[in-house]
Amino acid sequence: MQSRQKRSLTIPTVLLLGILFLISVPLLMKSTSLTLPSSLPQLNTIFLSILIEAIPFVLIGVLIAGFIQIFITEDHIRAWIPKNKFLAVVMSCVVGAAFPACECGIVPIVRRLIGKGVPLYAGVGFLLTGPLINPIVILSTYMAFGNDMEMALLRMGVGFVAALVIALIISILFKSNQLKKDKGISHSERKGNKKQPFVTRIREMLNHSIDEFFDMSKYLIAGAFVAAFLQTYVSTQSLLQLGNSQFQSAFVMMALAFVLSLCSEADAFIGASFKNVFPTTSILAFLVYGPMIDLKNMIMLLSVFKAKFVFVLFILITCIVFIFVNLSSLL
């Protein structure tokens, strides 16, 4: 009773604060825009362009997440996922490869799947191959490298094997689902939902999608802002001068992929532009690493999973991709 009282008191206060915020920010922007450095509108434009590019994919992602929440039960999941760990990982990677997603849209989906009882390792397999291997990415890679299938095949092959290995190592290292505590409570109330009419369930699904969107978008926005900030103020040229040997340049390209946070559908063209600067191995590293993890994506993952897990996953992806990409040059 007391807390209810408290809440009704705080709402007007917050309302006031919110209105103040909404009024003051534009005013502040307007009054200072005359003195702002010209780089700020540039930063803002890059920031918004990343968001405008990513938000449609996030919307698709949250709609699918909403669908999973309402229509897929834990029983379904139990029936679909093989008991055998290795088979489960293989299956998740194959499903991810067939599933056209981008790296920001897939995070809410994976979170919902794991919440529904999909084992962590299967979720990771899906998370890694979803954005990396899909028809649009293959097509753009094929085109960016002069209608040559070699790079597209290498990207898929190396990416798939790396994702398999990473997911398998995750299956050994982590036993629990690693979701953040407040988000990891399992659902057991689904049974009652089944009896509800279809229209109600569709509404439920959309309600979930809306809440999921607000949950996810703040991390996407933060990530996009950091990526835009780095693009505006940090010269990539200085980074490129570091890469002399094959190993160094592979690392440089991976760092670049991480920082730029490009959509996996557009990164092939950027990667291709380094053809004359760096060996194929380094470009492959760029193409495989970027869709698996980048700055924007990692901030979103941190919102879903425990920080320790995200950190281990980050290290694993970095090491495994580095090793496999360099091994591929021996082929």
3-class DSSP state for residue 158?
helix
Q: How many residues bind another protein (CB under 8 A)?
A: 97
Binding another protein by CB under 8 A: which of 29, 87, 98, 315?
29
Q: Quick check: 270 binds another protein (CB under 8 A)?
A: yes
Rounded Cα gap, residues 110 and 122, in angstroms: 9
Least distance from another protein to the Cβ atom of residue 284, Å: 16
User: What 8-state DSSP symbol labels residue 183?
Assistant: G
Nearer to another protein, 164 or 284 (CB): 284
Interaction with another protein in 125-144: which residues (CB under 8 A)?
139, 143-144
Quick check: 139 and 74 in contact, CB under 8 A? no
Task: Considering only the stretches 52-60, 117-125, 283-291, 323-331, report the one whose residues sit in contact with another protein under the rule CB under 8 A.
Answer: 52-60
Rounded Cα gap, residues 314 and 298, in angstroms: 8
Residues 6 or more apart in contact with residue 99 via CB below 8 angstroms: 126, 130, 134
Binding another protein by CB under 8 A: which of 16, 20, 33, 98?
33
For the chain, the C-alpha Rg in angstroms (whole number) is: 22
Rounded Cα gap, residues 95 and 245, in angstroms: 36
Nearer to another protein, 92 or 261 (CB): 261
Q: Quick check: 107 binds another protein (CB under 8 A)?
A: no
Nearer to another protein, 141 or 281 (CB): 141
What is the residue type of 69?
Q
Q: Quick check: 289 binds another protein (CB under 8 A)?
A: no
Nearer to another protein, 76 or 203 (CB): 203
Q: Quick check: 149 binds another protein (CB under 8 A)?
A: no
Least distance from another protein to the Cβ atom of residue 164, Å: 29
Binding mask 227-266 for another protein (x = CB under 8 A): xx--xxxxxxx--x-------------------xxxx-xx
Q: Quick check: 120 binds another protein (CB under 8 A)?
A: no
For helices 307-328 and 295-304, what crossing angle results, to 10°?
A: 140
Nearer to another protein, 63 or 310 (CB): 63
CA-CA-CA-CA torsion for 284, 97, 310, 301, nearest 10 degrees? 110
Interaction with another protein in 60-89: which residues (CB under 8 A)?
63
Q: Quick check: 25 binds another protein (CB under 8 A)?
A: yes
Rounded Cα gap, residues 41 and 36, in angstroms: 9
Instruction: Return the H-helix or E-strand segment holding 31.
Output: helix 2-32
Nearer to another protein, 93 or 217 (CB): 217
What is the residue type of 324?
F
Interaction with another protein in 301-330: which residues (CB under 8 A)?
none
Interaction with another protein in 152-211: which residues (CB under 8 A)?
179, 182-185, 187-189, 192-193, 196, 203-204, 206-211
DSSP-derived secondary structure for 2-28: HHHHHHHHHHHHHHHHHHHHHHHHHHH
Give the residue among 318, 315, 246, 323 at the shortest CA–CA distance from 282. 246
Binding another protein by CB under 8 A: which of 77, 91, 215, 280?
215
Binding another protein by CB under 8 A: which of 16, 45, 75, 87?
45
Quick check: 270 and 299 in contact, CB under 8 A? no
